[in-house]
Structure 1
Amino acid sequence: MLFCIDILKDATGPYTFSICDTSSFSEYIRGGIVSQVKVSQKISFKPLLASLAEPEFVVTDFAKCCRPAQLHVGFQALHQFCTLHGRPPRPHNEEDAAEMVTLAQAVNAQALPAVHQDCLDVDLIQKLAYVAAGDLAPMNAFIGGLAAQEVMKACSGKFMPIRQWLYFDALECLPEHRVPFMEDKCLPRQNRYDGQVAVFGSDLQEKLGKQKYFLVGAGAIGCELLKNFAMIGLGCGEGGEITVTDMDTIEKSNLNRQFLFRPWDVTKLKSETAAAAVRDINPHIRVFSHQNRVGPETEHVYDDDFFQNLDGVANALDNVDARLYVDRRCVYYRKPLLESGTLGTKGNVQVVVPFLTESYSSSQDPPEKSIPICTLKNFPNAIEHTLQWARDEFEGLFKQSAENVTSLCIGRDPKFMERTLQLGGTQPLEVLEAIQYSLVLHRPQTWADCVAWAYQHWHTQYSHNIQQLLHSFPPDQFTSSGALFWSGPKRCPHPLTFDTNSPLHLDYVMAAANLFAQTYGLGGSQDCAAVAKLLKSLPVPKFAPKSGIRIHVSEQELQSTSATVDDSHLEELKTSLPTPDKLLGFKMYPIDFEKDDDSNFHMDFIVAASNLRAENYGISPADRHKSKLIAGKIIPAIATTTSAVAGLVCLELYKVVQGHQQLESYKNSFINLALPFFSLSAPLAPAYQQYYDQKWTLWDRFDVQGLQPSGEEMTLQQFLDYFKTEHKLEITMLSQGVSMLYSFFMPATKLKERLDQPMTEIVSCVSKRKLGHHVKSLVFELCCNSESGDDVEVPYVRYIIR
């Protein structure tokens, strides 16, 4: 029986709704399924002439909410100017700008009340005239992304189209103060940058060419940024350069949105390929490609000299941790950061300017929701749950077990057993049981053994485990509150019966058997008929329910249960494992999941494993494409959003290179092309704190020269005295990273020993690591008291060694 409800009318809460009067139906028991169906809407648009007279505007920046109506008049005047002269107004020409103002005033005088402006913004119309002949690649990228998305909407009928006029301007990119003789600087040079020079003049073009920028990431946004950099001339002049780093290789799934890559580039390094592609776009660009992860492990590469020589950094990353790290480095070296990201039709841009704005780390997005373990193991109710379960199956069966066996048996990790036994909870037991499973209980010798294992594992996962779950929680079981246990999000499962005639069952066995064989270095097979024949000869594994099995019903119950492991059982497991001398020459081969190779059985296994579990729980299955998106954790990036976001980034780049000092000149952006929604707003200023009458923000710090005029390094005592004398601060605790260098409660003997030691010597001693030659400064954190004895918050210390 089907019901159609209006969720806006019938919702009774965030997760509940009523369906209608059901008094004439039998009593509802359980097991109903709700599917969201979006109802199509018919959208009508005014004809062009009617819309010109009575327009509807999409506002992109509420700080300029009156701007669209003014531009509506201005663009009609511009159209008339071009019709009269056969050309746009000359760049920054006062005569043409004055004529444009006159035309705009005439348009405004004749306009209907819906368009007529009581006070026409003459300055805005003049600026429109000044830049009308210009041609900016970032503006083209933004408007082009929007236009392309609108075409897709018209073709597919998906998402809400723009209704009906969208005017976008970034006039704050122009110089903050009027530049004398601007027209002379905007004359064409007969080169590829003439459209940009017409807007900003030749001085900015020269600055752009000299910039040294660091681009972190060469994926979807990274490719678009590099393309824009090449087109605007960033790093294309004398002394300029762009360094791009990305450790990834190109995958087939990248090609639909990373347009610097071609099919023949698959498996090549992203950074190298992208750098070569932009050299073809602009041979003058000086771009250097690296394959390094940007993190603590590469600080010897991206060291003080590297960052201090930069003019700015652009992030094109796909994870928060890396973004936070790069942000911290930019704050430390006081470099501008252009941050951006996309998710489907959604995109954001944040500009970070030293001393002017807050940093990326100053605010946080809510954490991503993870699927509870209990839901994954026993109570899935959505295809996302079964796909995640299938991915975990893949990792456990074909990667983790093989890695553990390799570490134990061939001595790759001599302390493997010792470290395993020190793990918390039931982890030692789980690891050793998995090794016993791989080496003793289910070690195959032939392909037929692999097929038999896959057949047995199918019954374990899709029949026996489900029967055990129903044995513990029967379908008609009630909770202590009198409600049915299997109700709400808990879907009552049913065991499956293996059928060799079922393509899904056979797909699972084929994929599982081939992957299992690969981990042992055995040959596989793609002969489905032979496998089906072999399966018919195997006995059906019998199920016997186990008693005393504890199944956790909720995350709270799982976390509150303190699992203990019997040491004697662990010892028994250890003795059951073959000794290394009995495994000479034996090797297992861990498999890394690869979603894009259709011949490797990886996605075959994921799709079959997930859909079989979905069948267990009555969940609608997913096809291969949807399964790949979810299981492969592919962020649904699309070229339209990427183009628009990269354009917005480079508009902010113009401001950073010019050195704009007004906070309102910069714009953080949040867009959703599907709705459509656009929100551009000024970034937030950094929060400040204060000690005595000294205000400070995250951009401030104490710079302390470690070397004294005598040539000797500052001791701890001298460091403490320096802050007491120069800043009237008494240091109560001093740390470097996780190392505590000094505290007021330190034992007197240790304190006396440290006071006369040089600072770097104390750091090396406490951290138990020698400082590398690339380290030119250290960061110290302080806890201080004022002269009155009160705790005060103070900036960190940059202790300069060399």
Structure 2
Amino acid sequence: MGLGTSGKGHIFVTDMDSIEKSNLNRQFLFRPWDVSKLKSETAARAVKNMNPAVQITTFTDRVGVETESVFNDEFWMALDGVTNALDNVDARRYVDGRCVFYRKPLLESGTLGTKGNTQVILPNVTESYSSSQDPPEKSIPICTLKNFPNQIEHTIQWARDSFEGLFRQPAENVNLYLSTPNFVDTALRGNTARETLLSIKEYLVDARPTSFEECVAWARHKFEELFVNNIKQLLHNFPKDSVTSTGQLFWSGPKRAPDALVFDATNDLHLDFVVYAAKLHAFNYGLKGADDREYYRKVLKTIHVPTFVPRDGVKIQVQENEQPNNNDSVTADQDELDALVAALPKPAELAGFRLTPVDFEKDDDSNHHIDFIAACSNLRASNYNIAIADRHKTKFIAGKIIPAIATTTALVTGLVCLELYKLLDAQPKPLDQYKNGFVNLALPFFGFSEPIAAPKMKYNNVEFTLWDRFEVGNMTLRELLKHFETQHQLEITMMSCGVSMLYSFFMPKKKVEERLNMSLRQLVETVAKKPVPPHAKTLVLEVCCNDAEGEDVEVPSIIVKL
């Protein structure tokens, strides 16, 4: 295209991520030897090799509120347009909001396997990306995950959650307990105080290993807890022949009656769980693991596993609308919480001691993260007679890998470039010359439509769209209220900046009087209790207003120029 190759032409690209192996099959700029390098810098080098005349500046920053000092007013105002290649909705909505604020055209796009889409967003003409949104991703009910799985996806998600609950969250809780003076007080005010304190006690007192053999023993006991004892307790509460209040068998429909497993060290799946759980537990404590499976079998013979007796009175969540029971059968009372706190070692006694949380990484085969999740999921599936999944499928689901095909990427890139030609053309074009694209190579389907025009709203017979705003200087609150009454025939009833409520009609009169003579900048700083960042040239205020008839009306935002 020759983009950014002459005159003042320039391309700015940013990406804070590094290249992973799973990125290699979906694009054309990265090669195997680029793995672990920064995406933006590597992509820029590849493009410069293709065309040395192209002028590119790279960043390695996330585009978001926290980097508005980097991507500031001067940066955005200098742009002619923006193209998105993002992988999450929050980032898309943020960039879309910036483009609306600075009135910059945006070419939005995305792919999912053989499917792809492109969207053209034109200042003052079309709706924005945020004007519509996809329905929320369907989640698995908690009761299904915890007690009634019926698909391998359920057991993989359960195993993924178990990974966090065994190897990351407890280690982080321990470190917070050891490093944060008021951590216990904060934890006691939360809804999961008992669960948090129990995990700290387990990892610091009850099951703190001093050797790798103790890590193996811990893993063996976890096997018994997760795949034997919990299942026996569930069947104690709901025997296989139990019926509901309507006389229907409880274990019917999507509910599969489980069976407790019997540990067998000669079963590779059983041993897999012990091996990988022990290694990850050892990683938490900085202990060296072992690879020889005969070593594990030898240690396992020495481990005593107590017989489990199911308890009466244990509440198990059956319906999604029931309150989940995070604390087994016991509601923690103050005496129990006090006893848990008293059982913990004083942080001063463990000065310098820290655990190493395990941060999930799907693409490093040597870390055994996927190996553990695969073993854990397949054991859970064995409990419920669900067909097990191989490691590849487990990695795909647990890692939430978005299927990507280079062909789809190339097609969507081409469609975006066609619209980019139109945007950069000096001759303005009518809306019907631009096209949003929707494709599915598997069908195949190729559909195009005109971008949707920005919907028009009205107050006091004044039409406006999402691209409009009121612009004012750094006047006082009193002057702003008066300005809206006289210039726009609008009564401001509420006004906010971010999460800070600056003014409302129901505020105490004394508080309103204190704020009326403050400048808008001073008002924001006073209420938010922090200064406006030095790089900020404007403030955005959201207001609710009544029109001349006293009716509540929607109005544009207010931009305060500082």
Alignment equivalent of 1:280, drawn from 39, 46, 49: 49
Alignment equivalent of 1:682, drawn from 425, 428, 450: 450
Whether the aligned pair in 2 keeps the contact of 1:371 and 1:385 (CA below 8 Å) is yes
Alignment equivalent of 2:423, drawn from 648, 656, 659: 656
Q: Deviations over 1:680-714 (max 9, x none)?
A: 111111111112221101011111133xxxxxxx2
- Residue aligning to 1:522: 287
Q: For residues 581 and 743 of structure 1, what CA distance do their matches in structure 2 show?
A: 49
- Residue aligning to 1:478: 243
Alignment equivalent of 2:181, drawn from 414, 418, 422: 414
Q: Aligned AA for 1:439? A: L
For the pair 1:553 / 2:318, whether they are aligned, the reply is yes
Q: For residues 549 and 140 of structure 2, what CA distance do their matches in structure 1 show?
A: 52
- Residue aligning to 1:605: 372
- Residue aligning to 2:29: 260
Deviation of 1:564 (Å): 5.6
Per mean C-alpha deviation after superposition, the further-off stretch among 279-288 and 532-541 is 532-541
Q: When the two structures are superposed, what TM-score results if normalisation uses the length of structure 1?
A: 0.68
- Residue aligning to 1:722: 483
Per mean C-alpha deviation after superposition, the further-off stretch among 443-452 and 594-603 is 594-603
- Residue aligning to 2:154: 385
Whether the aligned pair in 2 keeps the contact of 1:459 and 1:541 (CA below 8 Å) is no
Q: Secondary structure at the match of 1:555?
A: coil
- Residue aligning to 2:467: 699
- Residue aligning to 1:487: 252
Deviation of 1:235 (Å): 1.6
Q: For residues 261 and 135 of structure 2, what CA distance do their matches in structure 1 show?
A: 39
Cα separation, partners in 2 of 1:452 and 1:361, compared to 1, 3 Å: same
- Superposed, 1:357-756 pairs within 5 Å as 357-409=126-178, 411=179, 413-423=180-190, 425=191, 427-558=192-323, 565-658=332-425, 660-706=428-474, 714-756=475-517
Deviation of 1:607 (Å): 0.9
Whether the aligned pair in 2 keeps the contact of 1:356 and 1:661 (CA below 8 Å) is no
Q: Deviations over 1:516-544 (max 9, x none)?
A: 11101111000111111221232343111
Whether the aligned pair in 1 keeps the contact of 2:460 and 2:548 (CA below 8 Å) is no
Q: For residues 52 and 76 of structure 2, what CA distance do their matches in structure 1 show?
A: 25
Q: Aligned AA for 1:471? A: H
Q: Secondary structure at the match of 1:321?
A: helix
For the pair 1:304 / 2:65, whether they are aligned, the reply is no
Deviation of 1:620 (Å): 0.6
Q: For residues 292 and 530 of structure 1, what CA distance do their matches in structure 2 show?
A: 47
Q: Secondary structure at the match of 1:493?
A: coil
Q: Aligned AA for 1:683? A: P
- Residue aligning to 1:238: 7
Q: Deviations over 1:355-382 (max 9, x none)?
A: 1110001111010011111111111111
Unpaired stretches in structure 2, ≥5 consecutive residues: none
Q: Deviations over 1:576-605 (max 9, x none)?
A: 111112213422111111112222121111
Whether the aligned pair in 2 keeps the contact of 1:358 and 1:686 (CA below 8 Å) is yes
* Relative contact order, higher structure (CA 8 A, sep 6+): 2
Deviation of 1:561 (Å): 11
Q: For residues 561 and 790 of structure 1, what CA distance do their matches in structure 2 show?
A: 48
Alignment equivalent of 1:769, drawn from 521, 526, 530: 530
Q: Aligned AA for 1:552? A: Q
Q: Deviations over 1:606-642 (max 9, x none)?
A: 1111111111111111111111101111101111111
Deviation of 1:656 (Å): 1.4
For the pair 1:329 / 2:98, whether they are aligned, the reply is yes
Q: Deviations over 1:278-303 (max 9, x none)?
A: 11111111111111111111111111
Q: When the two structures are superposed, what TM-score results if normalisation uses the length of structure 2?
A: 0.97
Q: For residues 564 and 243 of structure 1, what CA distance do their matches in structure 2 show?
A: 56
Q: Percent identity?
A: 58
Unpaired stretches in structure 1, ≥5 consecutive residues: 1-231, 707-713
Deviation of 1:752 (Å): 2.3
Whether the aligned pair in 1 keeps the contact of 2:542 and 2:558 (CA below 8 Å) is yes
Q: Aligned AA for 1:416? A: F
- Residue aligning to 1:116: none
Q: For residues 429 and 461 of structure 2, what CA distance do their matches in structure 1 show?
A: 24
**Number of positions where the alignment pairs a residue of Structure 1 with one of Structure 2:** 559
Deviation of 1:789 (Å): 2.7
Q: Deviations over 1:113-134 (max 9, x none)?
A: xxxxxxxxxxxxxxxxxxxxxx
Q: Secondary structure at the match of 1:397?
A: helix
Q: Secondary structure at the match of 1:349?
A: strand
Q: Aligned AA for 1:556? A: N
Alignment equivalent of 2:111, drawn from 315, 335, 342: 342
Q: Secondary structure at the match of 2:420?
A: helix
Q: Secondary structure at the match of 2:411?
A: helix
Q: Secondary structure at the match of 1:557?
A: coil
